[in-house]
Amino acid sequence: MGRSEAQQRIEELKAVLRENSRRYYVDNAPTMSDYAFDQLMHELEALEAAYPEYATPDSPTQRVGSDLGRREFVQYPHRYPMLSLGNTYNLAEIEAFADRAVKTLDTTFTYSCELKFDGTAICLTYRNGRLFRALTRGDGVVGDDVTENVRHIANIPQQLKGDYPEDFEIRGEILMPYASFDRLNEERARDEEPLFANPRNAASGSLKLLDPEEVGRRGLMCTLYHIPSQSLSFETHSQALDAAARWGLPVSDERRICHDIKEIEAYINHWDTARRNLPYATDGIVIKINEMAYQNILGYTAKFPRWAVAYKFKAEEALTPVLSIDYQVGRTGAVTPVANLEPVLLSGTMVKRATLNNADQMALLDIRIGDSVYVEKGGEIIPKITRVDLTKRPAGTQRPVFPSVCPDCGTPLVKEEGEAKYFCPNTDGCPTQVKGRLVHFMGRKAMNIIAGDATADQLYNRGLVRTPADLYDLTKDQLMTLDGWKDKAAKRFLDSLRDSRNVTFDHVLFAIGIRYVGETTAKEIALHFGNVDALMEASLEDLLSVPDVGDVIARSVHDYFRDERHREEIRRLKAAGLRFAMEGRTAASDVLAGKSIVISGNFSISRDEMKALIEANGGKNSSSVSSKTAYLLAGTKPGPEKIRKAEELGIPVIGEDAFRAMLPGNAPAADLPADEEEPNLFSGLV
């Protein structure tokens, strides 16, 4: 390769690696496998070594991947740089790592071998035994402050026990166990939201949510594996982790002290198989020099410690023929191609089907019925076709033709500008869409009616239900005609129908299933318009004035309510007793419009009621103080860290009385018990 070719290739690799690093760390939606990414990184490293004149300080080889992107979180510098690890898929390179350490140190030492957890990095600081701060890796120099979110992860202690030191850092990984991942993706599939490709992406995305309580519901866990030597003094890395475990911190008990390369390879070989029995994802083994003094001698590169290396397991894949391709219709009419495969064992389970996403993905793979395809599991969960083995393609195969009409109802499909998928426009007549919307309407995050797919199928197939309003006309006698239904099941269903009449307007709006209107958007729209009558008469311009509502969503909502069938459905649901106005008002107050408010402490009403009061007057609730925060609303016993952040950023701190004085009617706070009076420090600040 000549110099000009080398320079061109280096620039190409930098661009590809930067873009895919952003997709991986910031978007949590990678389009390249870890193996492919690592191979490109190794190619860039080799080219920069051969042509050092083209190596630059901002090269991906010199910087850790950064998760900085969204500005909703306050950022703090790491006390000590938070580096990445060098990695390899080759046991010979692990042997070379061990040989270099032996030659450099010229003495006896041990290795700490540990599982490489497939999550998102976290750095915890404890002061006086209490969790003080939690930072993401960020760019290795600064990280996002996600302390409030981390406080909602069950196995991270808020208070340590035993002989803990006064002030120290410990680092590790936030994980999403397989069970939590399955549950989350099942919910997203029901709502036709994009699925997370693997538990790592789900964990990273969940950690950056703006609602700490939702973070708590995601079922995350933490495993800690490193105390920086500058933070605490121990003779060995293993002693440091043993101490952390005594203090109550979650440390893996699958570590092993190894003395030579044979023991290291035995550990690797064991876990290459045994990891499939773990309840969470791992993607390799980390080998560290155990003695802290020798770690200091070996030191660091700009990006990696020289005293540690990661051996990464290759994603397990299997080769199997494509038997046929189905085209499935979702509740919003999106048509998704699915490949039916000759069953093949992969990561301990039998794989028979794999989604192909859309027509563009099919064309990119150039997949055909009869092809032999490589299948792997993203995060060992979701089967994914990665490529076609063209050497095994049978003669005479033809490219599959994506259907031009709905495979369920025969209506011509449409593809809207900017959309990757084809849709069936027969929203109210396509059986699959109708049943899908019934399931969505009854879902836990919508109306929370006790029923599922099987019930929706029976109700539809027997002609009892065609729209959600029909559910409220059902009688016990009709329900008792369903297969397998007894008195108790019918009563539970009718009781849940009765309770659904108390569901708030924003959930009802989400439940009726307007395309592109998810939970958050439904709440924004409900708060903005206050009631369904105002919403039904809203113009496109009115809808575009709602925060976070763009052209596509505005057009979808506008078109939905222009359809007389949908307006009649709303009238029937109203008559059934569902709530179509935000509690306590018929129109949104805008006195807090555009203001982001963080609450901390106790108030004369519950925290949920206080948040509802903020939203009812046009404000937005935020979980953490940032430069975008309008006010920190402090009750009794507010969090000192939030107060400190507000002072640091110059954010006004107000008390409950001052807050209520802003609202229509200047409603005063309810009387507080004498021992919980609101501190004068906050009561007058605006």
- For the chain, the structural domain boundaries read 3-54, 75-312, 317-392, 431-500, 505-575, 596-683
Pairing of strands 372-378, 596-600: unpaired
* Lowest-confidence region among 147-161, 215-229, 346-360, 545-559: 346-360
Task: In whole angstroms, give the CA distance from residue 640 to residue 601.
Answer: 10
List Cα–Cα distances, 254 to 110, 273, 278, 495, in angstroms: 16, 14, 11, 48
> What's the token pair of residue 232?
């605490």
Q: What is the DSSP letter of 275?
A: G
Is residue 66 over pLDDT 50?
yes
Higher per-residue confidence, 317 vs 373: 373
Is residue 372 over pLDDT 70?
yes
395-409 pLDDT per residue, tens? 999 999 999 999 999
- Cβ within 8 Å of residue 85, ≥6 positions away: 286, 304, 305, 308, 309, 310
Is residue 674 over pLDDT 50?
no
Task: In whole angstroms, give the CA distance from residue 406 to residue 495.
Answer: 37
Q: Which of 240, 224, 230 is nearest to 164 (CA)?
A: 240
Q: What is the pTM of this model?
A: 0.54
CATH fold, domain 317-392, is: OB fold (Dihydrolipoamide Acetyltransferase, E2P) (2.40.50)
At 588, is the pLDDT very low, low, confident or very high (cuts 50, 70, 90)? very low
Angle in degrees, CA 407, 408, 413, rounded to 5: 55
pLDDT, position 298: 93
At 276, is the pLDDT very low, low, confident or very high (cuts 50, 70, 90)? confident
Angle in degrees, CA 327, 402, 319, rounded to 5: 70
pLDDT, position 4: 83
pLDDT, position 41: 79
At 479, is the pLDDT very low, low, confident or very high (cuts 50, 70, 90)? very high
At 609, is the pLDDT very low, low, confident or very high (cuts 50, 70, 90)? confident
Highest mean pLDDT among 77-91, 245-259, 443-457: 245-259
Tell me the one-letter amino acid at 176.
M
Domain 431-500 has CATH 3.30.300.30: no
Is residue 26 over pLDDT 80?
no
Tell me the one-letter amino acid at 209.
L
Highest mean pLDDT among 244-248, 275-279, 454-458: 244-248
Is residue 627 over pLDDT 50?
yes
State the average pLDDT for the chain: 85
Q: What number of helices (H) and strands (E) belong to the chain?
A: 26, 21
CATH fold, domain 75-312, is: D-amino Acid Aminotransferase; Chain A, domain 1 (3.30.470)
Highest mean pLDDT among 44-53, 260-269, 529-538, 583-592: 260-269
Cβ contact 591:617 at 8 Å: yes
pLDDT, position 168: 95
Task: In whole angstroms, give the CA distance from residue 306 to residue 289.
Answer: 9
Is residue 89 over pLDDT 50?
yes
Write down the architecture of domain 596-683 according to CATH. Answer: 3-Layer(aba) Sandwich (3.40)
Is residue 640 over pLDDT 80?
no
| Topology alike, domains 431-500 and 505-575 | yes
Is residue 365 over pLDDT 90?
no
Residue 116 appears among annotated catalytic residues: yes
Homologous superfamily of the 505-575 domain (CATH):
5' to 3' exonuclease, C-terminal subdomain (1.10.150.20)
Tell me the one-letter amino acid at 635.
G
Tokens 């208070």: give the residue. 159
Q: What is the DSSP letter of 291?
A: B
At 97, is the pLDDT very low, low, confident or very high (cuts 50, 70, 90)? very high
Is residue 596 over pLDDT 90?
no
Is residue 469 over pLDDT 50?
yes
Is residue 104 over pLDDT 80?
yes
Torsion, Cα 667 671 675 679, to 10 degrees, reads 20
Order across the sheet with 130-136: list the strands: 130-136, 120-127, 167-175, 221-226
| Top-level class of domain 3-54 | mainly alpha
List Cα–Cα distances, 299 to 58, 111, 122, 240, 326, in angstroms: 21, 16, 22, 19, 55
Angle in degrees, CA 309, 314, 315, rounded to 5: 135
pLDDT, position 72: 62
Residues 27-42 have a mean pLDDT of: 66
Per the residue annotation, which of 14, 116, 642, 645 is the catalytic one?
Answer: 116
pLDDT, position 28: 52
Cβ contact 497:455 at 8 Å: no
Is residue 329 over pLDDT 70?
yes
Phi, psi of 517, deg, nearest 5: -95, 100
At 672, is the pLDDT very low, low, confident or very high (cuts 50, 70, 90)? very low
- Cβ within 8 Å of residue 231, ≥6 positions away: 79, 80, 168, 169, 170
Q: Which of 301, 288, 281, 275 is nearest to 221 (CA)?
A: 281
Task: In whole angstroms, give the CA distance from residue 527 to residue 614.
Answer: 10
